[in-house]
Structure 1
Amino acid sequence: MAKKQGFFQRDVAYYKRGFWKVFFYTLGGVALFFLLASWGVFGSMPSFEELENPESNLATEIISSDGVTIGKFYNENRTMIKYNALPQHLVKALVATEDERFYEHSGIDGRGTTRALMSLGTSGGASTITQQLAKLLFHGEGSRFLPLRIIQKAKEWIIAIRLERQYTKNEIIAMYLNKADFVNTAVGIRSAAKVYFNKEPKDLTLEESATLVGMLKNPSLFNPIRRAEKVRLRRNTVLGQMVKNNFITEAQKTASENKPLVLDFHPESHKEGIATYFREYLREFMKKWTKDNKKPDGTDYDIYSDGLKIYVTLDSRMQEYAEDAVHKHLSNLQIEFNNQQKDNKNKPFVRISKEETDKIMMSAMKNSDRWKQMSAQDKSEEDIIKSFSIPTKMTVFTWKGERDTTMTPTDSIRYYKSFLQAGMMAMEPKTGNIKAWVGGVNYKYFQYDHVGQGARQVGSTFKPFVYATAIEQLNYSPCDSILDSPFTIPKGRHHVTETWTPNNSDRQFRGMVTLKKALAYSINTVSAKLIDKVGPEAVIEMTHKLGVKSEIPAQPSIALGAVEITVMDMVAAYSTFANQGVYMKPQFISHIEDKNGSLIYEPMPESRDVLNKDIAFAVIRLLEGVTESGSGVRLRTQGGGYGYERVTGYPYVFNNPIAGKTGTSQNQSDGWFVGMVPNLATGVWVGCEDRSARFKSITYGQGAVAALPIWGMFMKSCYNDTALDVSKKDFERPANLAIKVDCWERQVKEVDSTAIDSTAQDTDEFMIQ
């Protein structure tokens, strides 16, 4: 018996020693495993410097002059936000749902880990918020292969502990919410709040915060755009967790969970949102800017990941008013355009041959994505052309939103060429700051920018440049009179290759008229006589001094606007008159900061003297005449009697000083209006992408109907928003003005018209009042 007891005691001692050996070996092995993991044996670990600065891949923000983020450049749409900018109910919802003992542990929740191990994971995961942050920051999603998963989990624990030592609990909360992916291009809580609710995080309601926190479990599964009901139920689960943790009352939970899921979805993609055309123009500028401006360490800036803040001159309110005016007017005008095309077998092209049509269509085909993709697949040109006749399912643009349809690619080309387009820009004359920029009607479908990229024929909006040259060189004034009569420039004069006899648009002649009246009524013969006296070269020189970069032919016909100029250049040129003759180069960036808020770029305004104050003011007086009695008078009326009310948005009934000019190109392909008040100049162009797609008559194709109403709607909205402080005052009158501009008395000597040589000999057709 004693012998058996001895054997038993020796066995117990043996097993005890074995147990403790296994225990200590296991413990040592685990310790060694974690030590090796921390040393990076199983893969790189973040350095101390990386833990100090884990902020990377940050979106660059585009911030308007009124402090609104109007767009971003990004690989990952993420913008950092500090803890103190988070609402407390958002923080409490996160802790209640994702990590109830967050404020009690040091990165690893022992109770949760033990529970997860005992249940083999069936009772839920054990990852703390800090562990989830570690995963997001440094090694992404876990592997499904068990050994690798164990290694990654160990690294996650180590990083979590380091994070807890390095940061406060509040900083960890902020970092986690800044890094979390909420899908639909929203990375980080600030982007999520903007994308789903169009507000800053601090303005989120309790139920909105609960919705976003609920998404964190599985953003793809709980995507509010695709699974609204599932997201609503998940939101209510989060609210229940908040009650369980005494963060809200049962009454608050009941009130919130009974509310429907209400979104204000604003996806922040490159092709959506406001100022899309401007943002693309800015992107191209920034690409060049990064080549000329380096970081302090000599490396290049990356606008997609360096978290820059680009402060631009645009005003988000003006931008929205401008886009709204363009959409409202063109969607109405489009109805009339489509009505005029009903009987056109070659719509939307008007009065062009089959050969010209085929050339336009072939050019559009070759510029299409379909052609490029099929060419890359080594398809023959014959097969590619055939594919354009095969009906295809597609989503198309309409004025009422996107629509799914089936049509041939050829028909889709004609469909898109039928849409009216617009270019619009508003600028402060004294600073050059651009306040609004509308390059087209929808960047997703029409990516050609009609402000900074596309030059179109300007028509009569060019005439003020001719008048300015005449006033400067010949000492004329707005009150001087000229004979409106038939006029011809013979062959050889001013390099004219054929005899040129311009006609007035109404085919009438008014006899003696002041320059002010001549411009107000846009009389062609007067413009032709003025350019004949000063010469085309002088007008071209003046136009270029006003900032127009287009090549202009030295021909008298430019007096009537046979010149292609961008909206940007036209607005800047007109602004010079409002700025007392000083040209200001359009400016769209105020300054740029790096992610730490340090100033890294601030452009210097560029200006030059073009005209003296008296001449500039004289031109302003001429342009005021256009809105007092000429083609711009619609801005001051109730609209009655014109018959355009349905498409023009009347009435505007402005009674403040407005200087402006309408313009219509040949065949009504382009309609223009450039209008100014003392502190804001705005230019509008309207037409189709292709010049052969146009209105059949001048009734609706003229600038006064196609473009002026957009200006009117925009300015009406600006005036209604008194915070913008858009001026209704008089233009500043120079002291000791030497040019007569107040043409109250129009006493003109009788002139024997038969004595006037209509072939533009050097007769004095002007009389000083």
Structure 2
Amino acid sequence: MIRRYASLFCEHCARWLARVRPLAAAGSTITRLVLDSALRRLRHPTRRGVALTLAALPALFVLYVLALVPSTPGIGDIRKARVDRPAWIVSADGKLLDTFKPVNREWVSLRQVSPHMVAALIATEDRRFYEHHGIDWKRTASAALHTFSGDRQGGSTITQQLARNLYPDEIGRAPTLTRKLREAITAFKIEAVYSKDQILETYLNTVPFLYNAYGVEMAARTYFGKSASQLDILDSATLVGMLKANSTYNPVLNPERALQRRNTVLGQMNKYGKLKPDAYAALKRQPLNVDFELQTAQPGAAPHFSAQLRKWLIAWADRNGYNIYADGLVVRTTIDSRLQAMATQALDWQTNQLQWIANGAWNERTGCWPGNDLFRTFIRQSPDYRAARDAGQSDEAALSKLGANPTFVRALCRSKTQIQAGFVAIDPRNGDIKAWVGSRDFRDEPFDHVQQARRQPGSTFKPFVYGAAFADGARPSDTIVDRNVAIALSGDAIWRPTDAEPPTGRPMTLRDALVYSRNRVTAQLMQKERPEKVARLARAMGVRASPLEAVPSLALGTSPVTLKEMVSAYSTIANRGAYIEPRMVTRIEDHDGKVLAEFPSAPPEQALPAGAAQTLVDVMRDVVSRGTGAAIRARFGIRADVAGKTGTTQDNTDSWFILMHPQLVAGAWVGFDDGRVTLGNYWGEGAHSALPMVGAFYDMALRARVIDPDARLGPETRPPRPVHERRRRHFLFWTF
């Protein structure tokens, strides 16, 4: 038997030396010669050679271990790794908005973990945990003997398992001696740095338990609906049993195996005195009692903003040698938590009302029924319809069967008719983003309607046309005849813009044309200013990521853009024509408060002459005083100096409203993700869907004096309104 083990040992040593020789390649000539000689003797052993090799093995083994030490994590890395230090995302007014964690984990102290969990872990995984210094030599020797004889067994301590959990890449994953040695070296380092209780705490907080549950706290919530401190003996034994093989002993998918493994853990606890006398017999007959529920991380106060910020921060951290999940960065953002809460509240309030209207327009008796051609199209685009056709059903048979299924119809109708919205607010003086709401509910709709969605802006694009004209010297009092227009396009196409009202045939001032959002007059002004010039101006003012098609219809907002771009461009108007790139972050600190980087506002770029911008602001004041945005004053009672513009696209697909204040520019978009679904001619207009959201937001912000009610956009130059205009104000109140 001894001879057999000696021969096997020599074979293993030969493989070790073959691996270690490259590590010594840069060393002395004597070292290389010694290794070469030993390698030859091991490959062709004689009795004398075996004896000499066995005598030299301790020294060679020490050399090999020393060669591996530099490739294992350093003490400094181990100190960093023990505790999660996720980045903290902080608002401009000092409130915690979010934390960036690598996994779904909530760190708890050892005192917050049930003692049953600790007892089960030690009894099963490492019963001499408090006696060794990272390596249990008795268990390691026993495991080695079994492995040499062909029966592979694990001998890792809790500390060694922790080393693997923390440093899988540095230690490696292959079942080799090199990995085991790296693991052992790292375990020694961990034991040198931390106490036993700290090691247990770290292990219990880093071990994975499937379903994106990391650590004992999330495992307790996922499998038993309780916290780690409330785990009883059976719960603890079940979770410890999973550590041997998560998938194999998954109590959700493999309850029988999990029960057997749990009882094995109970047996270990009984064997080593962790259970009361006679308790084992009763406990092993108990069922698992799993109460499974997936745990999802709760979104922060500004989840869509955080999602965009995370991308930016990862890139910054990579360039500067930081880890956003471990270095405890504190990111100071531009978001104002008060304005963010107001924006969220305003969006929830308005979209809930609009959803009630949408539900009335799209239900199983009106829009969502198989007799509606659009709903039939929705059915044909569903996986259920494709499965029915693949099964051999005809088009009509599949439509009829699915249309008669109320569960299918309700689910499809709901998925297509959920109102969506986006809202963003920017300080025009420095580009700071103060509020950002990308959808009604981040968990249901993570898609961001502020920065990701590109939708046609409708009449909110018209100020670029008028801004170009004012920059060329035009005055608000200049007139263009309100008449039918036919504009030739490429080929033989003709574009004939229309309005809700018939043409008057009379001259209309540029001021009134923008105030009442007249398409025919704007199209004629676009011909004069040229589409290419207006597109360049819009890009200079802030529409910088979305392509703009330089065609005459661009005047009416036919090129899709993002809400963030539009609000940024309106901020340029409010900032006297100077564009400032939107800013998310002001500075980044370490966890001790040391400033690592500062991010001042971008330098202003004069996109529109200041005089033209001021003229445009003055005209757009009238939009909210007597034009399409009059509800801002009449309904919400806002008396501050504000200016804005409504926007509605063809077929009422997209609804917009953007309002400017000297200290804050805010805009909203409302619609459906599927542009074929609309709210109709009345509720689909920007004045009725998007405007109330913005109006409610400003009403709250002004009442709370988060922005100054007395701030001024600039001098007013409005002429007195003619009597006939004052008489028709009531008619124009809800007219787009």
Common fold, TM-score beyond 0.5? yes
Change (3 A) 1:581 1:331: same
1:557 shift after superposition: 3.1
Mapping for residues 573-612 of structure 1, pairs under 5 Å: 573-591=569-587, 599=596, 602=599, 605=602, 607-612=604-609
Which residue identity is paired with 2:540? K
Change (3 A) 1:68 1:133: same
Which residue identity is paired with 2:717? V
1:506 shift after superposition: 3.8
Aligned match of 1:568:
564
Aligned match of 1:669:
653
Change (3 A) 1:166 1:698: same
Using the size of structure 1 for normalisation, the TM-score is 0.59
Change (3 A) 1:490 1:333: closer
Deviations 1:535-577 (A, max 9, x none): 3333222212112143434443333333322111111110101
Mapping for residues 24-63 of structure 1, pairs under 5 Å: 49-54=73-78, 55-56=80-81, 61=87, 63=89
Cα distance between partner residues in 2 of 1:323 and 1:385: 48
Mapping for residues 540-689 of structure 1, pairs under 5 Å: 540-549=535-544, 550-591=546-587, 599=596, 602=599, 605=602, 607-638=604-635, 652-689=636-673
Cα distance between partner residues in 2 of 1:632 and 1:570: 17
* SS across alignment from 1:436: strand
Asked if structure 1 preserves the Cα contact closer than 8 Å seen for 2:670 and 2:689, the reply is yes
Which residue identity is paired with 1:687? G
RMSD over aligned CA atoms reads: 6.1
1:188 shift after superposition: 6.4
1:70 counterpart = 2:98 = yes
Change (3 A) 1:584 1:390: farther
1:628 shift after superposition: 1.9
1:699 shift after superposition: 1.2
Aligned match of 1:118:
none
Asked if structure 1 preserves the Cα contact closer than 8 Å seen for 2:463 and 2:616, the reply is yes
1:52 shift after superposition: 3.8
Aligned match of 1:461:
460
Gap regions ≥5 residues in structure 2: 1-57, 123-129, 140-155, 170-174, 243-251, 253-293, 399-405, 726-736
Q: Could you say which structure has the higher helix fraction?
A: 2
1:672 shift after superposition: 0.6
Aligned match of 1:712:
695
Mapping for residues 324-335 of structure 1, pairs under 5 Å: 324-335=345-356
Which residue identity is paired with 1:611? L
Asked if structure 2 preserves the Cα contact closer than 8 Å seen for 1:627 and 1:660, the reply is yes
1:487 shift after superposition: 1.4
How many residue pairs get matched? 592
1:279 shift after superposition: 4.1
Aligned match of 2:709:
729
1:698 to 681, 694, 697: 681
Deviations 1:469-492 (A, max 9, x none): 121112414xx2636x54133455
Change (3 A) 1:669 1:385: farther
Asked if structure 2 preserves the Cα contact closer than 8 Å seen for 1:520 and 1:629, the reply is yes
Cα distance between partner residues in 2 of 1:565 and 1:344: 35
Aligned match of 2:531:
536
1:338 shift after superposition: 2.4
Cα distance between partner residues in 1 of 2:578 and 2:113: 54
Mapping for residues 337-376 of structure 1, pairs under 5 Å: 337-342=358-363, 347=368, 358=377, 364-365=381-382
Mapping for residues 197-216 of structure 1, pairs under 5 Å: 210-211=229-230
Gap regions ≥5 residues in structure 1: 1-33, 114-126, 141-147, 197-206, 227-264, 375-380, 392-404, 639-651, 751-769
Cα distance between partner residues in 2 of 1:476 and 1:155: 78
Change (3 A) 1:341 1:353: closer
Change (3 A) 1:68 1:412: same
* SS across alignment from 1:455: coil
Cα distance between partner residues in 2 of 1:567 and 1:349: 35
Which residue identity is paired with 1:63? I
Mapping for residues 109-120 of structure 1, pairs under 5 Å: none
Aligned match of 2:408:
407
Asked if structure 2 preserves the Cα contact closer than 8 Å seen for 1:668 and 1:702, the reply is yes
Change (3 A) 1:673 1:598: same
Aligned match of 2:390:
383
Change (3 A) 1:623 1:552: same
1:591 shift after superposition: 4.7
1:527 to 522, 527, 546: 522
Asked if structure 2 preserves the Cα contact closer than 8 Å seen for 1:38 and 1:45, the reply is no
* SS across alignment from 2:455: strand
Change (3 A) 1:466 1:191: farther
Cα distance between partner residues in 1 of 2:694 and 2:678: 21
1:534 shift after superposition: 2.6
Cα distance between partner residues in 2 of 1:46 and 1:193: 38
Aligned match of 1:259:
none
Which residue identity is paired with 2:709? K
1:267 counterpart = 2:296 = yes
Aligned match of 2:717:
741
